[in-house]
Amino acid sequence: MIRGVLLGVAALALLAALLVVRPDADRAAAITAYRAPDSQFLTLPDGAVAHVRVSGPADAEPLVLLHGFASSAWAWDGWTAALGGDHRVIRIDLLGHGLTRMAPGDAGVDQQRFLEATLDALGVERMVLAGNSMGGGIAWAFAATHPARVTGLILVDAAGPSANGPPRRVRRIMNAWYAPLLRTAARWAGGTLIMRASLRSGVADPRGIREEDVRRADVFWRLHRAELLAGFNAIASRPQPPLSAITAPTLVMHGGEDRLVPRTAADALAQGIAGATLKIYPALGHTPHQEDPAATAADVRAFLRARKTRG
């Protein structure tokens, strides 16, 4: 009896391992598979290699797009197609994400320093800066500390300011993330089942999730698992500059069905940034730019045109 139970448990453990345990991805193979015609690889002063995708007219106003945690530059495909005719669209894979490579031996994840170095390497002095989730938090912090460089700010379900650190639901995720068992699982887990579940958490309607997005997310996750674990700690400890330091015209966008970043974060951003505009999408989730790129890009275009009129 006991032997049978033990054999059953062992069989279930083996099945679980086969389903979720995946080896680290190979960087060279990932580059071969996902390097795009508009890809550039920039070696930065600290040795990191930034992967950026640049499209649109070279002499147009730069529009820099920052993705969220465990996402990549591909998250902005819809906006790039819609806005690339009027802007030089620059999509950046952040540290520990996509095809970007961290500096050798670098155990820290300083996204602000990385963003500044990448923009300098591209020769971008002034830009419209947009970000989703974690990327939104990086974007508004950069706009607050480098106001002369940001001509417009677009925050999509962005991580907002908090005197007590991240919002309660994000802190719960972080606390669970740092539990030893979950950290071990996260370090070795992968596969399309897990990635599909992760992508579903960001949308109100999962029917729009494509299998190619699931497969790419799995490769990038397995390429950066250790760095992503370190990145969560950087999010928790990141200093927050005052919103009052932001001078750029700002559009705050938020999905009404967002289950990750609460509406209060969008309200805090809209209220704390002088003159900010708040746009709510009741039927969309945490990544409205992916769920409905046409409608959200149209609002961005209208905001940018109005910004020029006011200026």
Domain count, the chain: 1
Is position 15 within any domain?
Answer: no
- Per-chain mean pLDDT for the chain: 85
Is position 71 within any domain?
Answer: yes
Distance CA 187, CA 67 (A): 22
What's the pTM? 0.87
Name the amino acid, one letter, at 147: P
Q: What is the pLDDT of residues 205-245, one digit of tens each?
A: 998 899 999 999 999 988 988 777 666 665 655 678 999 99
8 A C-beta contact, residue 234 and residue 97:
no
Is position 8 within any domain?
Answer: no
> Cα 43–45–49 angle (5° rounding)?
25
Q: Which tops the pLDDT comparison, 84 or 12?
A: 84
Virtual CA dihedral for 65, 69, 71, 77, nearest 10 degrees? -30
8 A C-beta contact, residue 113 and residue 238:
no
Distance CA 79, CA 165 (A): 31
Residue among 64, 36, 35, 40 nearest 51 (CA): 40
Q: What is the pLDDT of residues 20-72, one digit of tens each?
A: 566 888 999 999 999 999 999 999 999 999 999 999 999 999 999 999 988 99
The range of the structural domain enclosing residue 143 comes to 24-310
- On the 0-12 / 13-18 / 19+ scale of CB atoms within 10 A, 15 is exposed
Is position 237 within any domain?
Answer: yes
In the numeric block, the tokens 């890009």 are attached to 297
Is position 16 within any domain?
Answer: no
CATH number for the domain including 179?
3.40.50.1820
Residue among 127, 106, 102 nearest 44 (CA): 102
Is position 234 within any domain?
Answer: yes
- On the 0-12 / 13-18 / 19+ scale of CB atoms within 10 A, 217 is buried
Is position 18 within any domain?
Answer: no
Is position 12 within any domain?
Answer: no
